[in-house]
Every structure is written in C-alpha cells, then in structure tokens.
C-alpha cells in the first residue's frame, strides 16, 4: 500500500509512534512536516501532531494544501485534547481529502524526550488496524 507517515512535533513520543507505524510501509521512513519529498498519490497519510493550533505558516500551508490528488486518506494521531483535534480535522477537511474521525489520542507528556511505551505502540497498532478497512 502506498502510505506515508509524517509528523510535526519536538516530542520523542510522537516521533516514536511515527517510526513504529512506518513499519507498515515498504517505501518510506517517517518524515517531518514539511516533508523532504512531496506527496504523490498516497493511499494513506498517517499524520502525527503534538501541536494543532497556532501552527507555523509552513506547517499550516502544508496541512491546508493536502488535496485528494496527492493524498486519498488521512489518519491523525495526537497528544492534544479532542476539541483541538476536531478543529484541526475541520481544517484538513477543507482540502477535500478523506479524514478519518477515528483519532489515536496519546497521553500528553510534560517531558518532550519521553519515548512511547509498549502499551502506546500496541494501541497504535490497534488503531491502525481499525483504519485499514475504512480506506477509500
């Protein structure tokens, strides 16, 4: 499956989950936003974010320019509250891409260098398995 895992965060946990989920893709390693390589007809974009509001201009531009021609489906994981995630999903939907309502919520950490636990990686795997049948 043509899939990319990208993230915007300085937190180790968000990066760890990106690395963990990217094992489902043969072609790419996880990348940061904006990515080094442009998106091209991705069936699934897994997007990890630890900040959902007051984004830097380049990150906001990247997120609002996700078009169905480049990305068919977007799945979000975050350590932010559900209300922020809903606002962010609303922003993404304006691009026309299919955004899944099923969001993976990670426990927020005060320390940015704390890695993802095995339980969180297992939860990420279960979330990913829920996403697959919803792909368009």
**CATH code of the domain containing 31:** 3.40.50.360
Domain count, the chain: 1
Alpha-helical regions (H) of the chain: 12-21, 57-64, 82-93, 118-131
Backbone φ, ψ for residue 45 (5° rounding):
-115, 120
pLDDT 10s digits, 52-62: 888 899 998 99
Report DSSP letters for 122-133, one per residue: HHHHHHHHHHGG
Q: Rounded to two decimals, what is the model's pTM?
A: 0.91
pLDDT 10s digits, 14-35: 999 999 999 877 666 899 998 8
Q: Are 66 and 74 in contact (CB under 8 A)?
A: yes
Q: Which domain holds residue 16?
A: 3-134
Orientation of helix 118-131 relative to helix 12-21, angle to 10°? 50
């Amino acid at each position: 499956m043509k899939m990319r895992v990208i993230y915007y965060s300085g937190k180790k946990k968000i990066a760890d989950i990106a690395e963990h989920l990217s094992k489902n893709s043969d072609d790419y390693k996880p990348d940061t936003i904006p990515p080094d390589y442009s998106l091209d007809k991705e069936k699934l974009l897994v997007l990890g974010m630890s900040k959902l509001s007051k984004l830097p201009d380049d990150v906001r531009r990247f997120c609002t320019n996700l078009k169905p021609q480049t990305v068919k489906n977007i799945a979000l994981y975050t350590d932010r509250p559900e209300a922020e995630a809903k606002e962010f999903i609303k922003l993404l939907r304006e691009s026309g891409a299919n955004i899944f309502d099923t969001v993976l919520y990670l426990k927020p950490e005060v320390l940015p260098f704390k890695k993802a636990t095995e339980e969180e990686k297992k939860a990420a795997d279960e979330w990913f398995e829920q996403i697959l049948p919803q792909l368009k």
